[in-house]
């Protein structure tokens, strides 16, 4: 009986460990929340009209089945760039600072995550044309989940 109980506990612990979020996923989630908490208040008041236009378009919901990046990202491009700048991720030439994002924002917690490493170039290329940091977080979180 005790052997069966030990096997059950081991199996339950293994299942629990599989269901746990990776350190990279947690770092992405924490970083997204921190950026929202600090950068969004700095930028939202200036770009209220853009944000309202974005939110009024049903294809612009980050949770829409088919997010229309070609239409939606330009609507909030100025707000997005402000967020990237406020998060101290904008470097010379108005480009996204990959090194700062990985080292400072994510605290290097994703540097060894194979899923993150594989997804990062695709996620960055599909979201940073208009500096859409929110979509970058969403893309990476989906990839490492």
- The 10s digit of each residue's pLDDT in 79-120 is 999 999 999 999 989 999 999 999 999 999 999 999 999 999
Give ∠ CA 132-41-46 in degrees, rounded to 5: 75
Please report the pLDDT score of residue 65 as a whole number.
80
- The 10s digit of each residue's pLDDT in 7-65 is 344 344 444 444 589 999 999 999 999 999 999 999 999 999 999 999 999 989 877 78
Higher pLDDT pick, 137 / 5 = 137
Please report the pLDDT score of residue 90 as a whole number.
96
Which of 96, 91, 93, 88 has the alpha carbon at shortest distance from 121?
96
């Amino acid at each position: 009986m005790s052997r069966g109980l030990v096997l059950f506990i081991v199996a339950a612990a293994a299942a629990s460990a599989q269901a746990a979020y990776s350190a990279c996923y947690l770092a992405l989630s924490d970083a997204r929340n921190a950026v929202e908490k600090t950068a969004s208040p700095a930028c939202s008041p200036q770009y209220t009209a853009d944000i309202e236009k974005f939110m009024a378009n049903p294809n612009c919901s980050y949770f829409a089945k088919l997010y229309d990046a070609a239409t939606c990202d330009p609507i909030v491009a100025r707000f997005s760039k402000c967020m990237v700048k406020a998060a101290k991720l904008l470097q010379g030439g108005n480009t996204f600072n990959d090194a700062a994002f990985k080292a400072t924002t994510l605290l290097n917690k994703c540097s060894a995550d194979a899923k993150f490493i594989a997804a990062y170039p695709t996620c960055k290329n599909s979201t940073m044309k208009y500096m859409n940091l929110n979509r970058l977080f969403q893309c990476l979180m989906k990839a490492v989940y």
